[in-house]
Amino acid sequence: MRINMKFTLAVCLCLAVFCSLFFLKLPVKAERIKKNILIINSYHKGYSWTDGENEGLREAFSNEDHVTLFVEYMDWKRYADQNNLNRLYDYYKSKYANEKIDIIITTDDAALSFALTHRKEIFSDAPVVFCGVVKESADKLVTGVSNVTGVYEATDPKGTIRAAQRIVPGMKDVYIIHDKMETGIAFGKLVHEACSSLDSNIIQHDLSEYSFDTICRIVSGLDTQRSIVILDAYNVDAAGRRLTMGDYTNLIEGSSAPVFTTAELLMGKGCIGGSLLSPKLHGSVAGGVVKRILNGENINLIPIIDEKSVYFSLDNNVLKRFAIPLDRLPPDSKIINKPFSFYEAYKSRIYLLLAVFTTLLVLIGYLVMNIKLRRKVEATLRENNEELTALYEEIAASDETLRRNFGELIEQQQQINKLAYYDAVTGLPNRVLFQDKVNDLIETSEEYHKRFVLFFIDLDNFKMVNDSFGHSMGDKLLLAVGKRLYEMEQDNCMAFRIGGDEFILMCQHTETRVQAEEVAQKILQLLSEPYDVENNLFHVSASIGIVFYTENGSNYDELLKNVDNAMYHSKETGKGTYTFYNMAMGDAVLEKIKLQNDMHNAIEHNEFILYYQPLLDVQSVGIKGVEALIRWKHPVKGFITPDQFIGIAEESGKMIKIGTWVMETACRFAKELYEQGCRDFHISVNVSAVQLLQKNFVALLSDILEKTDLPPNYLMIELTESILIESFDQVIQTLLQVRSRKIKIALDDFGCGYSSLTYLRQLPIDVLKIDKTFVADILNGDGKDCITGSIIMLAQQMGLHVIAEGVERNEQLEYLRHYKCDQFQGYLVSKPVPQEEIMKFFSRQS
C-alpha cells in the first residue's frame, strides 16, 4: 500500500513538473514583438469626426498588449498653411528621432499627404494605412505608391434616398445641400446618381450655389408632402461663410420638409435620419486592416477596402413632427429619442415669417429696379468715358503733355517704392527691404568672407499701451522708438521695423561678441529713457535676440528664425535684456509652443486647480485668511508651477480668461466659508498687470462678487510693484475704484522690485506684504533684520496692515511678534494645500 502511494506521488510530481515546464514556456512562445503605431490625425482633438475615428481605432487595439499607440493632431481645419506643415515637420522629426515606427495610420486627406511625403525621412519609412479619404482623393495620392492601403470613406446617399421614398411616399422633389469643396462636390455627385438610378422622375434641386441665408429661406417654404432635403458635407456656403453647429440647427429646424442626412454628427440636431456614415465604425475597419498587417500579411497584397461603414438611424422626435407612422420605416432601423417629445407650431410665427418673406420679395424687386437703373447709368458713363478717352488721346499727342505725364509717372513710382519698402508709421525700412538687404549682405559676405550681426528688438508689454490708450497713442510711441533707433544708424548699422512692436538693427563690421554686447547695451539704455507722448509718460523696456552670420544661420529664413528664438529667450528670462542665440533655444521654443497649445483647453478640461495657504495672526497664530494660488495639473507632465506658464499665458492672451477663473473660483470658496459661519477672514487673490490694465477690470470684479454673492470686504487683491511701472496713473485710478467698492488691496513682495516711498504714499492700498527674502535675512545676524523691523514700523505708521511672507522658523515668528507685525504665512504652519485641507484649519479654529 505504501509502495503504491509512493508510486502515485512520484507520478503526480512528474506530471506537475512537466505541466509547469510546458505552461511556463507557453508565454515565451506566445510573446509577440513590440510594435509602435503612429496615428496622424488631419484635424484637432475635439472635432467629432476625428474623435470617432480614433475611438474605433483604439477599440481595435484594446486587447493588443504588444502595440504602443502614438497619437498626433495636425489641426488642419484651423491652421491650413505651409507654416503649420513646417512646424509639424520639425516637431515630429525631433520627437520620433529615436522611435522606430512600424505602421502609420492617417485620418483624412492632409495626414495621408503628409505621411506619404515625409515617412521615409522621419517615420522609419513605415507602411501607411489610411481612412477618412474619399476614393477620388485617395486614388490621386496613392496611385503608384507602394506600402500603402486603407479604407475609402464612402457615404450612402442611395440608401438614404431609397428609405426617403418609403417614408415620404409622395416625394417628387429632392433638395441637395452641400458645399463646393472636394468632399461636398463628391457627395452631390453621389446624390444625383442615386436619384437618377432610383427614379428618373425625381426633380433634383442642387443648392450649392446659394448662400446659407438663401438656402434657409428656400427650405423653409417647401411642400412637406412632396419634398425632402438631404444634407451633408456642408462646411462653407457659397459666400465663403464657415458654418457652426448653431447654423446647422437653424437650417434644419427651419426646414418645412424632412431633412435627411448621411452624417452621424447631425443626428439629434433636427435631422430625420438616414443611412449614416459612422466614424467609429470606419476607424474600426481601418484598425482591422492594420491588425492583418501585424499578423504578417503583405500590405501590398491587401486591396483598399471600398465598403460603406454605415447604419440606418431615425429620430423619433422628427418623425412625430412630420406625423410619419412607424410602419413606413425601413426594417432594422435604429430609433433615437424614445420616448419622444412634442413640437408645436404657432400661427404668429408663420405670419411673421410670411411678412418677412414678403418684405424680402419687395426688397428684391427694389434691388432689381436699382440694378437696371445702375446698368443704364453705367452705359451712359461708358459712352462719356469713350469720349473723354478720345479727347485725352488728342491731348496726349503733344510733346509737352507727354513729358509732364512722364514726370508724374516717375513721382508715382517713387511713392509706390516708398510704400513698398518703408513703414508707414515710423518711416523706417520695412520687412521687405530688410530681406533684400540681408540677401545682398549674404552675397557680399560670401565673396569677401565678412560677418554681420542682427539685433531683434521686441518692446516688452507694448500690447498694454494699445489696450489702455488706443492704437493711435501706440503708433506715436512706436514713432518715438523708431527715431531713437534711427539715431544709432551709422555707416555700419541700419534699423528696420519688421511689424507690430518688433524692430531689427543690422550691423556690419561687428566682428566680436564683446562688440555686439556693447551695441545691445546701448540699445537697452537708449530705449529705457522715458517717453513723453502727448503729456503721457511711458517707460519702455525691450528684449533683444542676437545672431551672427554665418555662425547662427546661412540664409535669411534661418537667421530670422534663430534671432526670433533668441529674443523670446530674453523675454522668458525676465525681459529688458539680450540673449545670444544657441542651438538649445530651438527645442525650448518647441516646448513653449506645445505648452501654449495645451493651455487652450486647460480650463474646459478642469486641469487648473487652486491651492490655499493660510494667513495667520502673529500673536495668536489663529487663521485670518487664505491666499489662493493656482496650479496646473497637466494630464501628461503632472503639476506645472505658475512661474512656468503664467508668462506664456500673458503673452498668448490667455491670462484674462485664467485670471477670471481664479477670481471666480476663489470667491465661490470664500462664500462657502462665509455660509459655514466664518466671519473674521478674507481671501487673497493675485492680479497680474494684464488683468489690472483692462478697461472693464472693476466691472468684472463687481460681476464676480454679485454672481458668487460674496460680501466685497472678504476679498483682497494682491498686486506686485512691477505693475506700477507699466502705467502708474491708470493703475492709481483703477485701484481707487476697486477700493471704493470695499475690496481690500495688498502690495505683494514689497522690497524685491521697484520699492519707493513716493509710490507707497500715493498708492491706495490697505496691506503691505514683506517679501520672503527680508524674512529670511532676520536670522543672518548681519544687520538686515533691523531693516525688516524698520519696514514693519514704517508701514504701520502709514496706517497699513503688515503681512510677512515665507516664515519657516520659530525665531522668525518671535522677531515678528517683537515688532508687532500683524499677520504671517509660510511653511512654519503650512505650505499651500488643496481646498479640503485648508478647511481643516477653519474647523480646528471654530
Residue with cell 488691496: 745
Q: Is 783 in contact with 764 (CB distance < 8 Å)?
A: no
DSSP, collapsed to helix, strand or coil, labels residue 371 as: helix
Alpha carbon 394 to its chain's center: 61
Q: Which residues contact 392 (CB under 8 A, 6 or more apart)?
A: none
E strands, 252-292, in order: 259-261, 273-277
Cis peptide before 339 (omega within 30 of 0): yes
What single-letter DSSP state applies at residue 333? P
Instruction: Report the pLDDT value the prediction gives residue 344, as an integer from 0 to 100.
Output: 42
Instruction: Report the pLDDT value the prediction gives residue 788, as an integer from 0 to 100.
Output: 87
CA dihedral 398, 400, 402, 407 (to 10 degrees): -170
E strands, 19-133, in order: 35-41, 67-73, 103-107, 128-133
Q: Is 766 in contact with 822 (CB distance < 8 Å)?
A: no
- 3-state SS, one letter per residue, for 468-495: HHCHHHHHHHHHHHHHHHHHCCCCCEEE
Mean pLDDT by runs of 10 across the 846 residues of the chain is 45 45 42 88 90 92 90 90 92 91 94 93 93 89 93 89 92 94 86 91 93 94 93 89 89 93 87 90 92 92 87 90 89 80 60 86 91 89 86 75 71 74 90 91 79 91 78 90 85 86 90 88 90 87 91 89 88 83 71 79 87 95 94 89 80 85 95 91 92 90 95 94 70 91 92 64 89 85 67 91 94 93 95 92 78
Instruction: Report the pLDDT value the prediction gives residue 2, as an integer from 0 to 100.
Output: 44
Written as nine digits, the cell of 390 is: 478720345
d(CA 11, CA 347): 92
d(CA 728, CA 718): 16
DSSP, collapsed to helix, strand or coil, labels residue 312 as: strand
CA dihedral 607, 608, 609, 610 (to 10 degrees): 180
Which element (helix H / strand E) includes 400? helix 399-421
CA dihedral 141, 143, 144, 148 (to 10 degrees): 70
Q: Which residues contact 463 (CB under 8 A, 6 or more apart)?
A: 501
Q: Which residues contact 397 (CB under 8 A, 6 or more apart)?
A: none
d(CA 648, CA 595): 8
CA-wise closest residue to 68 among 30, 96, 27:
96
d(CA 372, CA 362): 16
Q: Which residues contact 319 (CB under 8 A, 6 or more apart)?
A: 272, 326, 329, 340
Please give the single-letter amino acid code of residue 633.
K
Q: Is 543 in contact with 458 (CB distance < 8 Å)?
A: yes
Which element (helix H / strand E) includes 746? strand 744-750
d(CA 123, CA 106): 13
Which element (helix H / strand E) includes 195? helix 182-198
Cis peptide before 550 (omega within 30 of 0): yes
**Cα distance between the two ends of the chain:** 80
Residue with cell 431633412: 259
Instruction: Report the pLDDT value the prediction gives residue 364, as an integer from 0 to 100.
Output: 93
Phi–psi pair at 484, nearest 5 degrees: -70, -40
Please give the single-letter amino acid code of residue 506.
M
Alpha carbon 638 to its chain's center: 20
DSSP, collapsed to helix, strand or coil, labels residue 831 as: coil
Q: Is 566 in contact with 581 (CB distance < 8 Å)?
A: yes
Q: Give how far Cα 631 sits from Cα of 608, 668, 746, 839, Å.
A: 6, 17, 21, 18
Q: Is 530 in contact with 538 (CB distance < 8 Å)?
A: yes
CA dihedral 726, 732, 738, 740 (to 10 degrees): 180
- 3-state SS, one letter per residue, for 567-629: HHHHHHCCCCCEEECCCHHHHHHHHHHHHHHHHHHCCCCCCEEEEEEEEEECCCCCEEEEEEE
Written as nine digits, the cell of 134 is: 474619399
471-487 vs 513-528: helix axis angle to the nearest 10? 140
Written as nine digits, the cell of 409 is: 509717372
d(CA 580, CA 548): 9
Written as nine digits, the cell of 387 is: 469720349
d(CA 45, CA 270): 25
Q: Give how far Cα 122 sits from Cα of 74, 89, 97, Å.
A: 15, 8, 7
d(CA 558, CA 86): 13
Q: Is 751 in contact with 771 (CB distance < 8 Å)?
A: yes
Residue with cell 510704400: 419
Written as nine digits, the cell of 62 is: 484594446
- What length is written for the chain? 846
Written as nine digits, the cell of 240 is: 465663403
Long-range contacts, 345-352 (Cβ 8 Å, 24+): none
Q: In what order do the strands lie in the sheet with 502-508?
A: 493-499, 502-508, 452-459, 542-549, 578-580
DSSP, collapsed to helix, strand or coil, labels residue 782 as: coil
Written as nine digits, the cell of 588 is: 525650448
Bridge partners for 269 per DSSP: none
Bridge partners for 459 per DSSP: 542
Summarize the chain as % helix, strand, coil (round to 5). Answer: 50, 20, 30
Pairing between β-strand 767-770 and β-strand 801-804 as defined by DSSP bridges:
parallel
Q: In what order do the strands lie in the sheet with 103-107?
A: 67-73, 35-41, 103-107, 128-133, 148-152
Instruction: Report the pLDDT value the prediction gives residue 88, as an integer from 0 to 100.
Output: 94
CA-wise closest residue to 59 among 223, 213, 279:
279
Which element (helix H / strand E) includes 93? helix 82-95
Q: Which residues contact 184 (CB under 8 A, 6 or more apart)?
A: 178, 208, 233, 234, 235
